[in-house]
Amino acid sequence: MFDIDFSRLIEQLLYQPDSPMIFSSGIFLFLFLAFTLIYNLLGKADTLRILFVTLFSYYFYYKSSGLFFWLLALVTTSDYFIAKAIAGVTEKGGMAKTLVALSLVLDLGLLVFFKYTNFLGETICTLLTDWGIHIPSAISGSYLLGVTWQPRDIFLPVGISFFTFQSLSYTIDVYRGNIKPLNRLLDYAFYVSFFPQLVAGPIVRARDFIPQIRRPLFVSDQMLGTGIFLIIAGLFKKAVISDYISINFVERIFDQPDLYSGLENLLAVYGYTLQIYCDFSGYSDMAIGIALLLGFQFPKNFDSPYKSASITEFWRRWHISLSSWLKDYLYISLGGNRHGKIRQYFNLLMTMLLGGLWHGASLNFILWGGIHGVLLCLDKMWHSVCKVLSPLTYLPSKHNPNPTKNWFVVLVGGIITFHLVAACWVLFRASSFGIAEQVFHQIFYKFEPQIFLQWCTSYKAVALLMLVGYVLHFMPEFLSVKAKDFVTRCPLVVKALLIVILVWIVIQIKSSDVQPFIYFQF
């Protein structure tokens, strides 16, 4: 009766290197429906439900990185027992610090090996050659100059930067006394591997998530409605806006920027600025929405970052879980602002340099982070020297004795901040410094603004989606709240209809291949 190709079905269920499972793929939607049914049947059986979700999460990771799920298990097991050992130490002295150092070495060691081996090897060999340092040869006894690095074929497991940081924060929090260690390895495995945020964040803190693990399963109407709204919003951002403008415009420009005018390069910069936001915030929205459908609450990860009036405000709104992680576990550990301005600026710069390196093994990412670090330092200097013109300053008006924002400064600061952030994204997106240089060269020396109408005609759909994306991003917050409340109040049938309509739109405009999320590579 049913003509089912079981070999094809089994093939889809196995790991496919060229097609990792993501939230917007058909295989995930199919599996998630079956998963939800079983999940709700296990609602009152806490341990079985936690075990089931953990096994599904490991399968989800297997579909993303194959047999490298053993890394996830290794990080989980080691940090669980290290945290238990830290809690068992009566004095937070040498032994506790040694255990924290062990966790750092294990987690960061794995991260460095899989993500940075080739980058560090190539960089060190290049520096030794540039500095004219002779290296003794173990074979011939002679001295070698100009040693080159032979790249190793090392697979980069998806999301390794996220789950190592998440697990590492747990052991540090136990050491600091902020939380108590879990008594069940299963519960900790559930926390680290929980599939909505496993491969691309948000980075969920143990103190926020652990209290929810053994809580009775409950999904309120508000949680259900908000979850569906976030899934719809995230899917629209990712599969409609981000994927389309990337494939049909942004990629073409960044592949060969010198073949296009400066105006087209500038529009591609604006396009990528929107693309990376829609891609990453879209994933975060779907992750938070799926978690809500399962009864778990994640903190917000994006808060309309391009509305920021300063670089400092931008980093309070962009990738909030990573920004707060870097602040709490790196910036503050370096000394924060406790040792004077100069030390504070140094700590900021180091934090952002390492934050840039976290994003990828490339000098582009390091420079991107370094520029943001310098901009943060300049921003803090500006606020301290010229408080009246600070966008964060509130000034009383004649008709209102209560402080109000200086909207002119906020507007000007917002325009400047947006373009500084967009310019930095060029380094983030470009495959090399040469490509980034070509983009800027075209913009500043071959702008050709007269072709704008021609571009709009040639790229009608791209122009429309970019306009829609930016309008939705910059619209007042209360309109977004009203849209969420509308979806929340809708009957379940209407919610389902909205999802069907969106899936139909995605099918109409999608490319032949599912586009992986940008942050999967980090």
Three-state secondary structure string covering 373-393: HHHHHHHHHHHHHCHHHCCCC
Range 120-145 average pLDDT: 61
Q: Is the per-residue pLDDT at 142 higher than 50?
A: no
- Per-residue pLDDT at 144: 46
Q: Residue 19 falls within a domain, yes or no?
A: yes
By mean pLDDT, which of 349-353, 357-361, 411-415, 474-478 is the weakest? 357-361
- What string of H, E and C letters represents the secondary structure of 176-208? HCCCCCCCCHHHHHHHHHCHHHCCCCCCCCHHH
Question: Is residue 1 very low, low, confident or very high in pLDDT (cuts 50, 70, 90)?
Answer: very low
Same structural domain, 234 and 167: no
Q: Is 95 within the bounds of a domain?
A: yes
Higher-confidence position of 500 and 71: 71
Q: Among 180, 198, 216, where does a domain finish?
A: 216
CA distances 508 to 25, 237, 466, Å, are: 14, 15, 18
Go through 424-447 and write b for each residue having 16 or more CB atoms within 10 A of its CB, e for each that does not.
Answer: bbbbbbbeeeebbebbbebbeeee
> Are residues 188 and 108 part of one domain?
yes
Confidence at residue 81, expressed as pLDDT on a 0 to 100 scale = 95
**Residue 294 backbone dihedrals phi, psi, to 5 degrees:** -95, 0
Q: Does 38 share its domain with 155?
A: yes
* Residue 141 pLDDT level (bands cut at 50, 70, 90): very low
Range of the structural domain that residue 87 is part of: 10-216
Could you read off the pLDDT of 205-258 as tens digits, one per residue? Answer: 898 899 999 898 888 888 888 998 998 899 889 888 998 999 999 999 999 999
Give residue 418's pLDDT.
96
When pLDDT is averaged across residues 19-23 and rounded to a whole number, the result is: 72
Greater confidence (401 vs 373) lies with 373
Strands 394-396 and 143-144: unpaired
> What pLDDT sits at residue 422?
96
- pLDDT per residue as tens digits for the range 84-116: 999 887 666 678 888 999 999 999 999 888 888
* Residue 180 and residue 84 share a domain: yes
Residue 373 near residue 351 (C-beta atoms within 8 A): yes
pLDDT of 396 over the 70 cut: no
User: What's residue 510's pLDDT?
Assistant: 62
Q: Which residue has the higher pLDDT, 360 or 53?
A: 53
Calculate mean pLDDT across residues 153-157.
81
Q: What is the pLDDT of residue 323?
A: 92
pLDDT of 457 strictly over 70 = yes
Q: Both 150 and 235 in a single domain?
A: no
The predicted pLDDT at position 143 comes to 45
Residue 507 vs residue 34, higher pLDDT: 34
User: Same structural domain for residues 115 and 183?
Assistant: yes
Residues 141 and 248 in one domain: no
Residue 460 lies in a domain: yes
Best CA proximity match to 256, nearest among 435, 423, 424: 435
- Both 182 and 50 in a single domain? yes
Residue 140 has a pLDDT of 42
Q: Is 339 one of the catalytic residues?
A: no
Q: What is the mean pLDDT of the chain?
A: 84
Residue 166, in any domain of the structure: yes
Tell me the pLDDT band of 201, cut-offs 50, 70 and 90: confident
Torsion of CA 289, 180, 316, 394, to 10 degrees: 120
Q: How far apart are CA 92 and CA 522, in angstroms?
A: 33
Total count of domains within the chain = 2
Give domain status of residue 250, yes or no: yes
The string of pLDDT tens digits covering residues 158-178 is 888 888 999 999 999 999 888
Crossing angle for the helix pair 433-445 and 407-429, nearest 10 degrees?
130
Residues 115 and 184 in one domain: yes
Amino acid 70 reads W
pLDDT on residue 507:
67
Q: Is the same domain home to 186 and 55?
A: yes
CA distance to 250, 263, 265, 465, 493, per residue, from 456 (Å): 14, 12, 14, 12, 38
Tokens standing for 443?
A: 């913009």
348 — pLDDT class (breaks 50, 70, 90): very high
Per-residue pLDDT at 191 exceeds 90 = yes
Which of 262-271, 356-365, 417-426 has the weakest average pLDDT? 356-365
Q: Which is the catalytic residue, given 319, 359, 372, 473?
A: 359
Domain end position, chosen among 195, 216, 237: 216
Statement to judge: residues 231 and 200 lie in one domain:
no
Percentage of residues of the chain with pLDDT beyond 90: 44
Q: Is the pLDDT of residue 398 over 80?
A: no
The structure's pTM equals 0.88
Task: Average the pLDDT over 428-455 and give the result.
Answer: 92
DSSP β-bridge partners for residue 404: 395
- Both 145 and 125 in one domain: the answer is yes
Residue 287 belongs to a domain: yes
pLDDT for position 492: 78
pLDDT at 3 over 60: no
pLDDT interval class at 478 (50, 70, 90): confident
Q: Domain for residue 63, yes or no? A: yes
